[in-house]
Amino acid sequence: MRRLRNVKIVATLGPASNDYTMIRALFEAGADVFRLNMSHGTHDDIRARHVIIRQVEQDTGRPIAILADLQGPKLRVGSFANPAGEELVEGAAFRMDLDATPGDISRVQLPHPEIFAALEPGSSLLVNDGKIRLRVETCGKDFANCTVTVGGAISNRKGVNVPDVLLPLAALSDKDRKDLEFACELGVDWLALSFVQRPEDVIEARDLAKGRAAILSKIEKPAAVKAYDAILAVSDGIMVARGDLGVELPVYSVPPIQKRLVRGARAAAKPVIVATQMLESMIESPMPTRAEVSDVATAIYEGADAIMLSAESAAGRYPIEAVATMNNVAISVESDPTYRQVIESSRTVNRSTVADAIVAAAREIAEAADIKAICCFSQSGTTVSLVARERPRVPILALTPLMGTARRMCLTWGAHCVITEEQDRFKGAVISAVRAARDYGFAEEKDQIVLTAGVPFNVQGTTNILRVAPCDERLIYKADPE
């Protein structure tokens, strides 16, 4: 199965997409990566979905990536004496403290002493996805006296955001540590890390994963935006989590932040997902709004590696239609001549290593001559990521003998992943690439491909060869009779 687009689609699984028939239909509609949300469902639920995905992968013969999304710490208020909650009005005084007594119109418990330790007068507290806004007037180690600046309904266990302070909280809760170990043992390909504020959060998760899964950092807090370069440096990939960003930052600041984050990840040759509320109306409607289609298109024009569906595919009424819509938008955008102009004008020039120079040359040769595909042999997927950073006009055929590498590369822009036999000679690699290009419909016998590889084979980080090869094997044997 060959996709007719380069951007990848991530589909979240949930109650609406829980069985083999639906998950296979989502894959056939265009999903390249399946997201397992560790915030919902038991380990048994997650395991069952994992088994189904791997069965779909086996039945279709195509690698599929699995992304486990860790919940992260959840900051919530306590309970209220009135089960219906209270209505806070603008200008009123409201107190948060550690007292477990049920709350009322004047106060409620906030069972997080670490928040009080970080607050200062003038800090903001946002409740219920930012619908309620409080300004801290005075505070101490166990309380915060606030003024309501934006009123609204508050009730039991509503979430709290603290946008303008760096909280002394680790990104991994006790639940996250258990979920991380479970997901790694299960065999997921990517771990999405929530509540990232600093690079140390990512390093901790990486140490716990021990190489069993790649680490993708979710940028959803202002502190993470400020520390983005350092976080990107220790991450394998990035998710632009616009939902929480839009709560903790002015909503009008999110589009330029998204553009900067995507461009930074592209320059670093690391996959970047744009996520949250992309086709939200399709939770209930079979058709998206024009604004949503434009939003998806914007992410594709920016050069994102992947675009993500959340509730649309997990709990919506039209999960297949949502994936198909994303697929069709991507094909339409990438067929637009303006798309190439935008992508190429934002290309980052990076020539610091031999591998950088080789992949840049591969793209230039492929686009200057009548080349049908760039074929990359890769152990770790790094060379494929470097080629993808170039955003070439021709397809990328990612060849690897390692299923784990092929699965992780399913998140990389343009990568068509193929499992091949291990090679110990360059001629064998050329023949393998030529056969894959023909078998998957990228080239015919009369065509040519560009091949990148490293000698010695099966060693990471040795990309040092570039060759233009004919797709006629007789010509290969004639040129290299040994």
Question: Helix (H) and strand (E) counts for the chain?
Answer: 18, 21
SS3 state at 373: strand
In what order do the strands lie in the sheet containing 160-161?
A: 107-109, 93-97, 143-150, 132-140, 124-127, 160-161
Residues carrying an active site annotation: 35, 76, 218, 276
Please check whether residue 300 is in contact with residue 328, taking contact to mean a CB–CB distance below 8 angstroms.
no
| Residue type at position 81 | A
Q: CB-based contacts of 164: which residues, under 8 Å, 6+ apart? A: 123, 124, 222
Identify the H or E element spanning 140: strand 132-140
3-state secondary structure of 183: helix
One pLDDT digit (tens) per residue for the chain, 482 residues:
789 999 999 999 999 999 999 999 999 999 999 999 999 989 999 999 999 999 999 999 999 999 999 999 999 999 999 999 999 999 999 999 999 999 999 999 999 999 999 999 999 999 998 999 999 999 999 999 999 999 999 999 999 999 989 999 999 999 999 999 999 999 999 999 999 999 999 999 999 999 999 999 999 999 999 999 999 999 999 999 998 899 999 999 999 999 999 999 999 999 999 999 999 999 999 999 999 999 999 999 999 999 999 999 999 999 999 999 999 999 999 999 999 999 999 887 777 788 899 999 999 999 999 999 999 998 899 999 999 999 999 999 999 999 999 999 999 999 999 999 887 788 888 999 999 999 999 999 999 999 998 777 767 767 888 999 999 888 877 666 55
Report which of 310, 306, 320 is spatially closest to residue 33, judged by C-alpha positions. Answer: 306
**13-40 core/surface letters (b: 16 or more CB in 10 A; e: else):** bbebbbeeebbbbbbebbbbbbbbbbeb
Within 10 Å of residue 206's Cβ, how many Cβ atoms?
Answer: 18
The structure tokens 């998206």 sit at 288
Query: Does residue 268 contact residue 232 with C-beta atoms inside 8 Å?
Result: yes
CATH number corresponding to 86-161: 2.40.33.10
Q: Name the phi and psi angles at 133, rounded to 5.
A: -125, 130
What DSSP designation does 349 have? P
C-alpha distances (whole Å) from 238 to each of 41, 241, 270, 395, 448 are 24, 9, 7, 23, 34
The confidence score (pLDDT) of residue 461 equals: 66
According to DSSP, the β-strands at 107-109 and 132-140 are unpaired
Domain 8-73+171-335: give its CATH superfamily: Phosphoenolpyruvate-binding domains (3.20.20.60)
Task: Tell me the three state secondary structure of residue 402.
Answer: coil
- Give the per-residue pLDDT at 164: 87
Q: Give the CATH fold of the 354-479 domain.
A: Pyruvate Kinase; Chain: A, domain 1 (3.40.1380)
Domain ranges of the chain: 8-73+171-335, 86-161, 354-479
Full-model pTM: 0.94
Q: Please report the DSSP string for 80-121 in residue order.
A: BSSTT-EEE-TT-EEEEES--SPB-SSEEE---HHHHHH--T
Provide the token pair at 254: 């999110």
Q: What are phi and psi of 448, to 5 degrees?
A: -130, 155
Position 91 scores a pLDDT of 97
pLDDT for residue 481: 55
One-letter amino acid for residue 196 of the chain: V
Residues 144, 119: contact at Cβ < 8 Å?
Answer: yes
DSSP tag of 271: -
Per-residue b or e along 136-160, where b marks 16 or more CB atoms closer than 10 Å to that residue's CB: beebeeebbbbebeebbebbbebeb
CA neighbor of 465 nearest in space, from 363, 371, 358: 358
Helix axes 319-334, 20-29, angle to 10 degrees: 10
Amino acid in the structure at residue 283: I
